[in-house]
């Protein structure tokens, strides 16, 4: 198999795994699975960087992080806009969509971007989510949204290091 064929095979595998991840996230949004179930898509040493909560490392730490960070956001959705794959790297544009619409009928939403590293075997070793938290807060204020239940606050001083588990430059 040539290098080009291996690269194409890796990209196809990464894209297919990401599509399954997005489908699983949609099941969570629909209340059919828990946020922790997304941990199945990450390696044991995975790093996840959230713009509010900071860095979480290790699959065992990701499971409670997913549940704690998403508490009270049961009525939000995160629809995909587009996805790019190059080798083992995935870049995705998606929306933080709150319930309801603006006066003009458009959704109340703020954009987000995720960068993921595909580690093989249907798992990711890294996810960095990037979004403008000020814009998210404006959406919350504009919409009058209130949590669906108790929420957890992110840490006061989160670790924001974007370094992947292997220490490479993201």
**Cα-flanking dihedrals φ and ψ of residue 162, to 5°?**
-90, 10
pLDDT of residue 107: 97
Flag whether pLDDT at 150 surpasses 80: yes
* Number of domains present in the structure of the chain: 1
Residue 68: give its domain's CATH number: 3.10.450.50
Inside any domain, residue 165:
no
Inside any domain, residue 162:
no
> How far, in Å, are 5, 30, 91, 148, 156 from residue 61 at the CA level?
36, 24, 23, 24, 18
Inside any domain, residue 30:
yes
For the segment 61-66, the average pLDDT, to the nearest whole number, is 97
pLDDT of residue 170: 63
Inside any domain, residue 72:
yes
Give the whole-angstrom CA distance, residue 47 versus residue 110: 24
Nearest to 159 by CA among 45, 46, 71, 50: 50
**Neighbouring residues of 145: CB distance < 8 A, sequence distance ≥ 6:** 75, 98, 99, 100, 108, 139
SS3 content of the chain, % helix, strand, coil (to 5): 35, 35, 35
Flag whether pLDDT at 97 surpasses 90: yes
Nearest to 116 by CA among 7, 19, 29, 23: 19
pLDDT digits (tens, 9 = 90+) for 100-138: 999 999 999 999 999 999 999 999 999 999 999 999 999
Inside any domain, residue 152:
no
Give counts: helices (H), strands (E), the chain: 3, 6
> How far, in Å, are 8, 32, 56, 115 from residue 59 at the CA level?
28, 21, 9, 18
For the segment 88-103, the average pLDDT, to the nearest whole number, is 96
pLDDT band at 1 (very low <50, low <70, confident <90, very high): confident
Query: Is the distance from CB of 96 to CB of 139 less than 8 angstroms?
Result: yes
Residues of the domain holding 117 = 3-143
Inside any domain, residue 163:
no
């Amino acid at each position: 198999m040539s290098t080009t064929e291996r690269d194409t095979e890796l990209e196809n595998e990464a894209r297919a795994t990401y599509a399954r991840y997005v489908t699983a996230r949609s099941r969570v949004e629909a209340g059919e699975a828990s946020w922790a179930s997304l941990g199945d898509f990450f390696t044991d040493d995975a790093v996840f960087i959230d713009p509010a909560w900071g860095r979480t490392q290790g699959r065992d730490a990701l499971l409670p992080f997913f549940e704690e960070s998403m508490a009270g956001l049961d009525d939000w959705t995160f629809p995909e806009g587009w996805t790019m794959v190059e080798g083992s790297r995935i870049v995705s544009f998606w929306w933080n969509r709150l319930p309801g619409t603006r006066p003009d009928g458009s959704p109340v939403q703020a954009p987000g971007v995720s960068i993921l590293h595909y580690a093989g075997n249907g798992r990711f070793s890294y996810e960095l989510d990037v979004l403008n938290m000020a814009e998210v807060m404006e959406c919350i204020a504009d919409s009058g949204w209130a949590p669906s239940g108790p929420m957890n606050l992110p840490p006061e001083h989160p670790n924001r290091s974007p370094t992947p588990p292997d220490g490479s430059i993201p």
